Chain A
Amino acid sequence: MHEVLGTTTDGDLVINVGPQHPATHGVLHLVITLHGETIRKVDPHLGYIHRSIEKMCESLTYRQFIYVTSRMDYLSAHINNHACALCVEKGLQVEVPARAQYIRVLMDELTRIASHELWWGAMAMDLGAFTPFFHAFRERENINDIMEETCGARLTMNYMVPGGVMADIHPNFQKRVKSFIQLFRSKFDEYNEMVTGNIIFQNRMKGVGYLSAEDAISYGCTGPTARGSGVSCDVRKIMPYELYNQVQFDEILETGGDSFARYMVRLREMNESINIIEQVIDNIPEGDYQAKTKAVLKLPKGEFYTRVETARGELGVYIVSEGGTTPYRIKFRSPGFSNLSALDHMARGSKIGDLVAMMGTLDLVIPDIDR
Chain B
Amino acid sequence: MFLARYIKSIFQAVRSLWIGMRRTGYYFSHHKEIITQQYPDNRETLQLPERFKGEVVMPHNEQNEHRCTGCTACELACPNGTIKVITKFDITPEGKKKKAIDKLVYHLELCTMCNLCVVACPSDAIVMAQTFEHSVFDRNQLTKILNNPGSKIMEGVE
Contacts and interface: CB of A to CB of B under 8 A. Distances in A.
Given A67-B114, A68-B79, A158-B114, A153 B23 contact: no
Contact of B19 (A60, A64, A153, A193): A193
Given A153-B113, A158-B114, A166-B115, A199 B13 contact: yes
B128 interface: yes
A67 B49 contact: no
Contacts of B79: 60, 64-65, 67-68
Shortest beta-carbon contacts, A-B, top 3: A64-B79, A67-B114, A152-B51
Contact of A149 (B16, B19, B51, B115): B51
Contacts of A141: 35
Interface in B82-116: 112-116
A200 B14 CA distance: 10
A152 B16 contact: no
B106 to A, nearest CB: 17
A197 B51 CA distance: 41
Given A67-B79, A199-B16, A156 B112 contact: yes
Interface in A32-80: 60, 63-65, 67-68
Contacts of B51: 148-152, 167, 170
Contacts of A206: none
B23 A152 contact: no
A193 to B, nearest CB: 6
B23 A190 contact: yes
Query: What band does the interface of chain B fall in when counting residues whose beta carbon is under 8 Å from A?
Result: 20 to 34
A103 to B, nearest CB: 14
5 contacts: A131-B23, A148-B49, A166-B119, A200-B13, A200-B16
A152 B20 contact: no
A67 B112 contact: yes
Interface of B: 9, 12-13, 15-16, 19-20, 23-24, 35, 48-49, 51-53, 77-79, 112-116, 119, 128
Q: Among the interface residues B51, B114, B116, which one has the most CB atoms of the partner chain A within 10 A?
A: B114
Contacts of B119: 161, 166
Interface in A132-146: 138, 141
Given A193-B23, A198-B19, 15 more contacts: A63-B77, A64-B77, A67-B79, A131-B20, A148-B51, A151-B51, A152-B51, A152-B53, A156-B112, A158-B114, A166-B115, A190-B23, A194-B23, A197-B19, A199-B15
A166 B20 CA distance: 44
Contacts of A148: 48-49, 51-52
Contacts of A190: 23
A177 to B, nearest CB: 15
A350 B136 CA distance: 49
A152 B19 contact: no
A151 B53 CA distance: 9
Nearest to A193: B19
Contacts of B35: 138, 141
B45 to A, nearest CB: 16
B77 A170 contact: no
Given A68-B79, A166-B115, A152 B128 contact: yes
B71 to A, nearest CB: 12
A55 to B, nearest CB: 14
